Amino acid sequence: MKAVVYQGPYDVQVTDVEDPRVEAPTDVIVRITTTAICGSDLHMYEGRTGAESGLVFGHENMGIVEEVGSGVTSIRKGDRVCMPFNVACGFCTNCLAGKTAFCLTVNPGFGGGAYGYVSMGPYRGGQAEYLRVPFADFNCLPLPAGTEHENDFAMLADIFPTGYHGAAMAQVSPGDTVAVYGAGPVGLMAAYSSLLRGASKVFVVDKVADRLRLAEEIGAVPVDFSAGDPVEAIKEGTGGHGTDKGIDAVGYQATVSAGEEQPAVVLNQLIHTVRATGRIGTVGLYLPSDPGAPSPEAAEGRLLIDIGTFFERGLTMGTGQADVKAYNRQLRDLIIEGRATPSFVVSKELPLTEAPDAYARFDKREEGYSKVVLRPRDLAGV
């Protein structure tokens, strides 16, 4: 089958790889209908992780079940399903507690597994024609048959639940003011989720114009950090107090307005943006090792954080990969009932074969490439 394979920094190619097969009775094979490129893929694409060549990318996957292992009970051939980016078992201590991003079974010795991601276990990605899904009863979210809401449902694999997780970790509640740093797809979903949870005012900080425009379209207040200090702008917009809650949807590749990377800049801005005793949800990625870091400390994941101010203000912060399974059924039902349309972030729908060009353009934050979905074949033929 055809798959998007990492060759080395700034180089992915669509090449032929072996078809996946049922390896355990609890597996299914899914024929991919839609798979998305994520900001998380870019960390690998840019050579900013330990990813090795040969890795098949793709952790945001949905499709039609093609083959079913003998031990699978709830999923049938022909079912339309979406898979959380986390691979999880469903029976370990963390899975039982709803913390499926930290499954103890699927990637022993590490906190959790994922498809097509460095360090996250032996699970091939779904930017391909087919995908093997382990523990399929647990990892497949059933969807209504047909092709309706395809792009909305595709967002259930990662960014919609991840944005929601940021808002949940920050405990965004009705009436809250919220500052979201980053207007990439994850930041936009965090803002959208905060509004779904009843926030009164949501600020979204970025410097990419078309991303800020989308933030404004969903009812958030755009803050351009290239036009001035975002902390000051948000303080001004909240009567000098700062917001009740904050969300980091940028991560360790955060930049200052001139473009230079400063891995701790967003965390520190959040510490100064959120009012005393407020809460921060950090879904932007931080890693214990970064081969391209701007300093030797950052290369080992050690950042200079304003812990003094953080403590003095009595702040609380949640971190980590999103437990997609904790939210995906509920968010799916909001889509089905017409109360959420996360596909507003999708800016491009392309055949799988165009992945190399799409990666290059998305990596440059080119207009129109903020969220790319790939199709191994035309949806009409599905």
Ligand X SMILES: NC(=O)c1ccc[n+]([C@@H]2O[C@H](COP(=O)([O-])OP(=O)(O)OC[C@H]3O[C@@H](n4cnc5c(N)ncnc54)[C@H](O)[C@@H]3O)[C@@H](O)[C@H]2O)c1
Can you tell me the distance from the alpha carbon of 86 to that of 197, in angstroms, rounded to the nearest whole number?
Answer: 24
Give yes or no for residue 283 binding ligand X (CB under 6 A): yes
Report the residue number, 92 or 264, with the smaller CB distance to Zn ion.
Answer: 92
Can you tell me the distance from the alpha carbon of 202 to that of 81, in angstroms, rounded to the nearest whole number?
Answer: 32
CA distance to 67, 95, 380, per residue, from 323 (Å) = 26, 9, 32
User: Pick from 114, 82, 92: which is nearest to 101 by CA?
Assistant: 114
Give yes or no for residue 254 binding ligand X (CB under 6 A): yes
Give yes or no for residue 170 binding ligand X (CB under 6 A): no
Contacts of 100 (CB under 8 A, 6+ apart): 84, 86, 88, 90, 94, 112, 323, 324, 325, 326
What's the min distance (Å) between Cβ of 13 and ligand X?
A: 22
Q: Among Zn ion, ligand X, none, what does residue 183 contact (CB within 5–8 Å per kind)?
A: ligand X
Q: Which residues pair with 34 in a beta bridge?
A: 62
What's the min distance (Å) between Cβ of 370 and ligand X?
A: 6
Give yes or no for residue 231 binding ligand X (CB under 6 A): no
Residues 291-350 binding ligand X (CB under 6 A) are 321-322
Q: Among ligand X, Zn ion, none, what does residue 89 contact (CB within 5–8 Å per kind)?
A: Zn ion
Site string for Zn ion, 95-134 (x = CB under 5 A): x-------x-x-----------------------------
Give yes or no for residue 272 binding ligand X (CB under 6 A): no
Site string for ligand X, 39-58 (x = CB under 6 A): xx-xx---------------
What's the min distance (Å) between Cβ of 347 and ligand X?
A: 11
Report the residue number, 185 or 246, with the smaller CB distance to ligand X.
Answer: 185
H or E element, residue 375:
strand 372-375
Own/partner long-range contacts of 103-112 (Cβ < 8 Å, ≥24 apart): 106/134, 106/135, 111/320, 111/321, 112/86, 112/87, 112/88, 112/321
Report the residue number, 6 or 310, with the smaller CB distance to Zn ion.
Answer: 6
Give yes or no for residue 158 binding ligand X (CB under 6 A): yes
Report the residue number, 10 or 23, with the smaller CB distance to ligand X.
Answer: 10
H or E element, residue 202:
strand 201-206
Give yes or no for residue 251 binding ligand X (CB under 6 A): yes
What's the min distance (Å) between Cβ of 122 and ligand X?
A: 20
Give yes or no for residue 187 binding ligand X (CB under 6 A): yes
Can you tell me the distance from the alpha carbon of 189 to that of 82, in angstroms, rounded to the nearest whole number?
Answer: 18
What are the backbone angles phi and psi of residue 244, rounded to the nearest 5°?
-70, -35
Sign of the CA dihedral with 32 first, then 34, 39, and 45 last = positive
Site string for Zn ion, 30-49 (x = CB under 5 A): --------x-x---------
Choosing from 153, 181, 327, 359, the residue that interacts with ligand X (CB under 6 A) is 181
User: Pick from 36, 304, 344: which is nearest to 220 by CA?
Assistant: 344
CA distance to 80, 145, 154, 336, 346, per residue, from 148 (Å) = 11, 8, 11, 9, 15
Question: How many residues in the chain?
Answer: 382
What's the min distance (Å) between Cβ of 185 and ligand X?
A: 4
Give yes or no for residue 134 binding ligand X (CB under 6 A): no
The answer to whether 161 touches 135, Cβ cutoff 8 Å, is no
Can you tell me the distance from the alpha carbon of 148 to that of 66, in angstroms, rounded to the nearest whole number?
Answer: 19
Residues 59-98 binding Zn ion (CB under 5 A) are 60, 88-89, 92, 95
Instruction: Name the residues that contact ligand X, by CB under 6 A.
Output: 38-40, 42-43, 158, 162, 181-187, 205-208, 211, 225, 249-251, 254-255, 265-266, 283-285, 321-322, 365
Instruction: Name the residues that contact Zn ion, by CB under 5 A.
Output: 38, 40, 60, 88-89, 92, 95, 103, 105, 158
